[in-house]
Structure 1
């Protein structure tokens, strides 16, 4: 492995992935870092490129040999799913000396290739090949030829899945009922953490990547008003006011938040059971646990953190809020993205009229 690439801005597991790429591709990541792209965006590119370069290696092809046919075959191979290799730092105590030893291990995880995932991988490769042409590494862009030759699939705009107000309340209540079964004498800090997380999602509509990046100083108080500073895509910041319910839940969590925390995780707002910064996967597991406890209907049973974002957008528009205001709350750079939720509102109107027809 070429270990020359190392950025202090990136987690070590991502540095290790990028180190395996050709030098000219590592330059692409240095450009991303200079442009202050988010860690999650850079990680996504690294994972996407790792898939592609593993495929090239299996075909004994180099980057300058890539043509539209190779790209087409790559996308066909990962069409329905793929294995992702991840690097994990494992800490173990030596049974003889008692010394803690760190070892990097690799594990493979099977991943479904969703429609959004497919679009992102295409966008990732487009960005890479444009950079390589602009840097005079390649004479032509094979992705341009691939895009021109591929059959365009019919645009299907799915109506976002979201919770109704009643379902959202059931999800919040599920935190209490779940922990009541534990028969604890007092509220556990993870119970109030989970409640604060759910309420922050439903209050602000922030992305899961934005939530796990929150630090304690992301919460700003001005008298009785509490706001959260959210760093979104492209490093863009937005500041949102917390409602009373979310504010009180966060206040309770902070009062019970563990005190003994590793130095590198001291600033993190939300912690996992090991007192380290909570991960995206950890948040997803938290949501899944309470969705199951709430026994939500089939439509809502697959609710994820991002679908709680859909829930806030839908509830705001249902209340007659201005589309531009909702755009700013969600941090959408393009209002067309926010307009997706107006289709949801229209669908609800159609359903209401259909029910009226059945009662006449």
Structure 2
């Protein structure tokens, strides 16, 4: 087994996944690091490969024995969903000595395999097998044979789920309502943090991976406001102006953000969790779920995720008459076609508005 850590440029939990892979697959990750792929991209590949190599281990199949039939069985196995085991580092306090120590624990949770998730896993494995063939590890690419023998799924584009302006305001107000029910004597720093996070999502369209990657110096003051420097997909940087609502919420959080007992590796992080380490994507999603429930949003909005708040901003901007190219720049889309899906949302809402006139005239 390879040394630990695998790479000092990667988080410890990702290192622990990668060192379990065959050496040739580890070389694939070294190439990704050399190509300066983002930590989130590398982590996504590691999670996808972990599912696949766990399947191979249970089936007793070596890397050189993989065929298109192996791939078909794997994808069918995870078609509906799958259980994922993650290893997280937690702090424990010895009740006798009061000493704080860190330990790794395993947590299992079930994940639905969405359409986008399925495509990402196929894309991840395509990249791996192309690399292995190119470097002489495998003679042929089993993923190509799998693709040739598989029926293509119909290309159905779903209209993105989003909040109306009124629903978005209810969600923001739900933060205060939720914490008031906890009967705390004063406003906590994490209540202020969560309000700032929601307003950043709704006013910048930032991705959740971009948000958790923000550092304190990502916020650049600019006279009476500020700009946020966002590192997007493919390490493409963009700078977004914060409006007064988002900036005031962020400044209020920064006043209360903890500075003591923050581990050295997390002192630069903008958003901290209750353990005073950098907030994770799951932490953000879990916090959002509380406020969605508190806001008592309608059924179509009950499953709102951080990414759907991004849909909300795009829809509100286009509904307000903003230029499609401007929205593309704000969201950091590499292609205008990705942004154009939101015009279908506007068309759909327009159609519904006209339908509601039926019978009135």
Partner of 1:330: 331
Q: Which moved more, 1:48-57 or 1:95-104?
A: 95-104
Partner of 1:198: 198
Q: CA deviation at 1:81?
A: 1.3
Partner of 1:308: 309
How far apart are the structure 1 equivalents of 2:317 and 2:167?
15
How far apart are the structure 1 equivalents of 2:277 and 2:25?
32
Q: CA deviation at 1:93?
A: 4.3
How far apart are the structure 2 equivalents of 1:31 and 1:97?
45
How far apart are the structure 1 equivalents of 2:301 and 2:72?
36
Partner of 1:211: 211
Summarize the Cα distance change of 1:107–1:170 in structure 2 as closer, same or farther, 3 Å threshold: closer
Partner of 1:138: 138
Partner of 1:279: 280
How far apart are the structure 1 equivalents of 2:93 and 2:185?
34
Q: CA deviation at 1:100?
A: 4.4
How far apart are the structure 2 equivalents of 1:4 and 1:271?
26
Summarize the Cα distance change of 1:4–1:183 in structure 2 as closer, same or farther, 3 Å threshold: closer
Residue aligned with 1:282, SS: helix
Gaps in structure 2 of 5+ consecutive residues: none
Partner of 1:347: 348
Q: Is the 8 A contact 1:5 1:26 kept in 2?
A: no
Q: CA deviation at 1:216?
A: 0.5
How far apart are the structure 2 equivalents of 1:97 and 1:184?
30
Residue aligned with 1:358, SS: coil
Q: 1:243-292, CA deviations, whole angstroms, 9 ceiling, x for partnerless residues?
A: 11001111111111122122221111111112211111111111111111
How far apart are the structure 2 equivalents of 1:342 and 1:286?
30
Partner of 2:157: 157
- Structural mapping, 1:228-239, within 5 Å: 228-239=228-239
Using structure 1 for the length normalisation, give the TM-score. Answer: 0.96
Q: Is the 8 A contact 2:5 2:12 kept in 1?
A: no
Is 2:31 aligned against 1:31? yes
Is 2:280 aligned against 1:290? no
Partner of 2:84: 84
Residue aligned with 2:272, SS: coil
Partner of 1:43: 43
Q: CA deviation at 1:160?
A: 0.3
Partner of 2:224: 224
Q: Is the 8 A contact 1:3 1:16 kept in 2?
A: no
Q: CA deviation at 1:98?
A: 5.5
How far apart are the structure 1 equivalents of 2:326 and 2:271?
28
Root-mean-square deviation (CA, aligned residues, Å) is 1.6
Summarize the Cα distance change of 1:164–1:146 in structure 2 as closer, same or farther, 3 Å threshold: same
Q: CA deviation at 1:119?
A: 0.7
Q: Is the 8 A contact 1:219 1:227 kept in 2?
A: yes
- The number of equivalent residue pairs is 360
Q: 1:146-177, CA deviations, whole angstroms, 9 ceiling, x for partnerless residues?
A: 11110011111000000001111111111222
Using structure 2 for the length normalisation, give the TM-score. Answer: 0.95
Summarize the Cα distance change of 1:95–1:248 in structure 2 as closer, same or farther, 3 Å threshold: closer
Partner of 2:167: 167
Gaps in structure 1 of 5+ consecutive residues: none
Q: 1:152-208, CA deviations, whole angstroms, 9 ceiling, x for partnerless residues?
A: 111110000000011111111112222233344432211211111010000110111
Q: Which moved more, 1:306-315 or 1:29-38?
A: 29-38
Summarize the Cα distance change of 1:37–1:358 in structure 2 as closer, same or farther, 3 Å threshold: farther
Q: CA deviation at 1:89?
A: 2.6
Residue aligned with 1:6, SS: coil
Q: 1:303-337, CA deviations, whole angstroms, 9 ceiling, x for partnerless residues?
A: 11110000000001111111111111001111111
Q: Which moved more, 1:101-110 or 1:330-339?
A: 101-110
Q: CA deviation at 1:339?
A: 0.8
